[in-house]
């Protein structure tokens, strides 16, 4: 079913809670709905607005926003320990994690409480606590407006990287994800080696899917603001990847600087949160925007901020980090 909204107010459709409007918004359920929409023709630009958790509107959108609302989760097949599960694009990601935990299926529990919808998970390859969406995604179903075909892209063709995929590159503006297929496991495969996770799981009585999910939820709730209460889009910046040489220069000056291996062995990933924190900006506010007091990677709307104010504030943070460390940090959030 397709639902049309003319000049919708987007405040409750973006987690930053900025008050912009769009010319039109269409909620859709299936790939057939999308075919109907594109066969009728869309005048002007279009953009997929999923949960609105990774987007910053800096102006009204003069075009059509497309929002998936389909809610199905189903087991497609089981082979030995392996269970293939399909989730529609409109399913809340965390509802999918809860469903997997209830069904005793391993693979996504470390990604508990990440805001957003299932269809958005492959786009930026969501990740937390040592896991990424790419670890379980088997394939992605999408509708291609140019050809009006439905295609299934296997994981190997999704070009997943750190907060990156083909959907942010070659298929940007050319694909609309309608469902994702995950490969989950009946066999326990706990991953507890990130930060406090192992200790928090132990405190809850040891390894189980429920204990891991609860531990991750607790860690996230203590560090990250609840988007229902404070407008934010999770990590505003990506963790920067620098050359090994650059990392060595910084480590000589700051031996306690967190650093991680990058996909390319000649490069090193740094923690943008640490850089912002050490640049003295944790808890810093200017006007209606601030750096979150418990995780400096998150920018927050203190109430009534416009998208442009958030963007100007983000530039101030980028500049201060550049001045202090000589490192460029880039937004993870899509600015529209
Ligand atoms: N740190 C500070 N000060 C801060 C924040 C972090 O010193 O204000 C230090 C921490 O002590 C730690 C390091 O920086 O040594 C990394 O911090 P953390 O473990 O909190 O993770 P992150 O790299 O800042 C990434 C993801 C988060 C995800 C966490 C946990 C990105 C852009 N962000 O943050 O994802 O929850 O790891 O796995 O990769 C998101 O994408 O929206 C998000 C919240």
Pair 146, 268 in one domain: no
Residue 89 shares a structural domain with residue 27 = no
Q: Is the CB of 234 under 6 A from ligand 1?
A: yes
CA–centroid distance, 235 to ligand 1, in Å, is 8
Q: Where do the H-state alpha helices sit in the chain? A: 31-40, 93-102, 197-203, 209-223, 244-253, 272-276, 307-325
Q: Which atom of ligand 1 is nearest to the CA of 235?
A: 42
Q: Do 88 and 216 belong to one domain?
A: yes
The range of the structural domain enclosing residue 306 comes to 225-335
The preferred substitution site among 128, 134, 283 for testing ligand 1, maximizing ligand atoms within 8 Å of CB, is: 128
274 lines ligand 1 (CB under 6 A): yes
Same domain? For 167 and 269 the reply is no
**Dist. CA 85 → ligand 1 center (Å):** 29
Residue 243 shares a structural domain with residue 295: yes
- How far, in Å, from the CA of 304 to the mean position of ligand 1? 26
Which residues have a catalytic role annotated?
163, 235, 332
The C-alpha atoms of residue 247 and residue 174 are separated, in whole angstroms, by 37
What is the number of structural domains in the chain? 3
Does residue 107 sit in the same domain as residue 205? yes
Residue 264 CB-density burial (10 A; 0-12 exposed, 13-18 middle, 19+ buried): exposed
**From CA 209, how far away is CA 195, in angstroms rounded?**
18
Q: Which atom of ligand 1 is nearest to the CA of 163?
A: 39
Check whether residue 82 and residue 145 sit in a common domain. yes
Query: What is the token pair recorded at 174?
Result: 């050319």
- For residues 90 and 216, membership in a common domain is answered with yes
Are 85 and 200 within one domain? yes
| Chosen domain end from 169, 201, 222 | 222
pTM value > 0.85: yes
Spell out where the chain has E strands.
3-6, 22-28, 46-48, 55-56, 61-68, 73-79, 82-88, 127-128, 131-132, 137-144, 149-154, 176-185, 231-235, 241-243, 259-261, 267-270, 285-286, 289-291, 298-301, 334-335
254 plus 268 within the same structural domain: yes
Sorted by sequence, the CB contacts under 8 Å of residue 60 that are 6+ apart come out as 20, 21, 22, 23
In this structure, the answer to whether residues 214 and 116 fall within a common structural domain is yes
| Residues 6 or more apart in contact with residue 255 via CB below 8 angstroms | none
Structure tokens given for 329: 């940090």
Q: Tell whether ligand 1 has an atom less than 6 A from the beta carbon of residue 295.
A: yes
Q: Going residue by residue through the chain (336 aa), what tens digit of pLDDT does each one get?
A: 999 999 999 999 999 999 999 999 999 999 999 999 999 999 899 999 999 999 999 999 999 999 999 999 999 999 999 999 999 999 999 999 999 999 999 999 999 999 999 999 999 999 999 999 999 999 999 999 999 999 999 999 999 999 999 999 999 999 999 999 999 999 999 999 998 999 999 999 999 999 999 999 999 999 999 988 999 999 999 999 999 999 999 999 999 999 999 989 999 999 999 999 999 999 999 999 999 999 999 999 999 999 999 999 999 999 999 999 999 999 999 999
């Amino acid at each position: 079913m397709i639902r049309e909204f003319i000049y919708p107010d987007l405040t409750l459709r973006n987690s930053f809670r900025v008050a912009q409007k769009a010319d039109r918004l269409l909620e859709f359920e299936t790939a057939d709905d999308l075919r109907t929409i594109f066969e009728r023709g869309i005048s002007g630009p279009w953009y997929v607005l999923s949960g609105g958790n990774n987007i910053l509107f800096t102006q009204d959108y003069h075009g059509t926003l497309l929002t998936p609302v389909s809610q199905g989760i189903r087991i497609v097949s089981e082979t030995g320990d392996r269970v293939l599960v399909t989730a529609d694009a409109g399913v809340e990601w965390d509802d999918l994690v809860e469903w997997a935990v209830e069904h005793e299926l391993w693979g996504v529990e470390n990604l508990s409480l990440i805001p957003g919808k299932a269809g958005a998970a492959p786009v930026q390859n969501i990740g937390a606590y040592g896991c990424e969406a790419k670890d379980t995604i088997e394939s992605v179903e999408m509708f291609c407006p140019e050809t009006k075909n439905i295609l299934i892209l296997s994981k190997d063709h999704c070009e997943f990287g750190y907060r990156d995929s083909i959907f942010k590159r070659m298929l940007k503006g050319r694909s609309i994800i309608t469902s994702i297929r995950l490969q989950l496991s009946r066999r326990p495969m706990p991953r507890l080696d990130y930060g406090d996770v192992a200790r928090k799981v132990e405190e809850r009585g040891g390894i189980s899917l429920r204990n891991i999910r609860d531990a991750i939820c607790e860690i996230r709730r203590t560090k990250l603001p609840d988007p229902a209460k404070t407008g934010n889009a999770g990590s505003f910046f990506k963790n920067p990847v620098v050359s090994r040489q650059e990392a060595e220069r910084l480590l000589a000056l700051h031996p306690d600087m967190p650093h991680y291996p990058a996909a390319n062995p000649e490069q090193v990933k740094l923690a943008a949160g640490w850089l912002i924190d050490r640049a003295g900006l944790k808890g810093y506010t200017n006007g209606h925007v601030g750096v979150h007091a418990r995780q400096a990677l998150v920018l927050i709307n203190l109430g009534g901020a416009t998208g442009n104010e958030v963007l100007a504030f983000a530039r101030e943070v980028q500049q201060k980090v550049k001045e202090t460390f000589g490192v460029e940090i880039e937004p993870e959030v899509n600015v529209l």
